[in-house]
Amino acid sequence: MIDYQLRQREYLLEISRAMTSRLDLSSVLRLILENAAEMLRGQAGLIALRQEDDSLRVQASYGLPLGLLHLFAPLLTDIPALAEREDLIRWRIPDLQMKLGLVASAIGLGLRQVVALPLIMESNLIGLIYIFRSQGGDFSANDRQVLASFADQAAIAVHNARLYQQLAHEKRRLDAIIQNSADGVMILDTQRRIRVFNHSLEEMTGWAADEALGQPCSRVLALKDRQGKDICEAQCPLLQTEPEEHLYVEGDIKRPNGSVVTAGITYSPLYDKEDHLVSVIANVRDITRFREAEEMKSTFVSVISHELKSPVSIIKGYADTLRREDAQWVADTLKQGLAVIAEESERLNRLIDNLPDASRL
C-alpha cells in the first residue's frame, strides 16, 4: 500500500512538473491519462472538455485509435449535474457501463469496464476523464479516489492552459491595435530604450522596427526645436525626479533621407503598485500639416492685417486732413480728397468680401 501511494505521488509530481514546463495542453492531458491508466491498471483512457456550446469534445486519448474517437460520443451524453466536492466519489454517469458495451461492440474493441470522473474548477464542470479496462474486475471506490487526484491535476492543467490562451489572445489583440494605430506608438523601458515600435512610427521616422528596438529613444527621434537645438534630452519624462502623469513635447524629426517631420509626443509613465517606474508609453503624432497650417494662418493674418491697415490709414489720413478747421480747401482739392477716400473704401470693401474665400484656402 505504501509503495502504491509512493508511485501515485511520483506520478502526480511528474504531472505537476510537466504542467509548469509545457504549454501544450494536449500533451499534458495525455501524460495524465497514461499515468492514471497505469495506476488503475487500465488499458485506455480519454479526456473530454466542455466547449462553449456546453457539448463535450475529446481533447486527449490513450490506447485508443484516433479514427474511432468519434464513436465514443454516447459516453459523453446525459451528464448529470455536478455534485458537491465531498460527494464526488459517488458521482455517476447513468447507464455508463451499458453505453460502453454498445460502443465496444460497434468498434470491435474489448473494453469491459469504465470509470469516469468530472474535471472541476471553481465549482464548474470543465470536462470528464475516463479510464477503460479490457480485463480485470470492476473499478473500486479506491480506484475512483485515485482517479480524482488525476482529475484534479487535469482540471488545473486545463484552467492554466485556458488562462494562457486568453492572455495570448489579449496580447495578440493589443499588438494588433498598437501596430495598426494611425498614430505612432512607442514603449520605452526605464533606461529609455525602445521596446515597442509600431508601423506608423516606422513610416514617420524612416527607422525600421528591427533597427529601432533596443535603441535609446533620443537616438531614434532626435527631436529638434525650430532653432535646431536638441530637446529630446531636455524634456524627456524619465529625466524628471517625479515624472508628470502626461508630458507633451513638440519637435522636428529628421529622417534618414533628409526630410523633416514635425511630431507632437505625449509621454505617459506607467508605475507598479510600489510606484516604481516600469515603462513609458509614447504616443507620437505627425503634426507637420498642422504646423504648416499654423504658419499659413499666421502669414495670412499678417498679410490681411497689413492689407486692411493700408486703406484704413489712407482713409483716416484724408478724412482728418479735410476736416481740419484751420484750413480752407478749394473745390478741386476737396473733390480729389473725397475721391481718394471713396477709392480706398471700395478697396477695403473688396478685401472684406474676399476674406471668406481666403480664410477657406
Residue 124 has pLDDT above 90, yes or no: no
Least confident of 15-29, 170-184, 190-204, 234-248: 234-248
Domains 2-175 and 293-360 share a fold: no
Q: For domain 2-175, say whether CATH 3.30.70.1150 is its number.
A: no
Q: For domain 184-286, say whether CATH 3.40.50.720 is its number.
A: no
Domain boundaries, the chain: 2-175, 184-286, 293-360
Residue 287 burial (CB < 10 Å; 0-12/13-18/19+)?
Answer: middle
For 43, the grid coordinates are 488499458
Strands 56-62 and 124-133 come out as unpaired
Please report the sign of the dihedral spanned by the C-alpha atoms of residue 238, residue 244, residue 246, residue 252: negative
Q: Which residues contact 321 (CB under 8 A, 6 or more apart)?
A: 327, 337
Residue 41 has pLDDT above 70, yes or no: yes
What is d(CA 150, CA 327) in angstroms, rounded to the nearest whole number?
117
What would the pLDDT profile of 264-282 be if each residue is shown by its tens digit?
A: 888 888 888 888 888 889 9
What would the pLDDT profile of 183-220 be if each residue is shown by its tens digit?
A: 999 999 988 899 999 999 999 999 999 999 999 988 88
pTM above 0.85, yes or no: no
CATH class of 293-360: mainly alpha
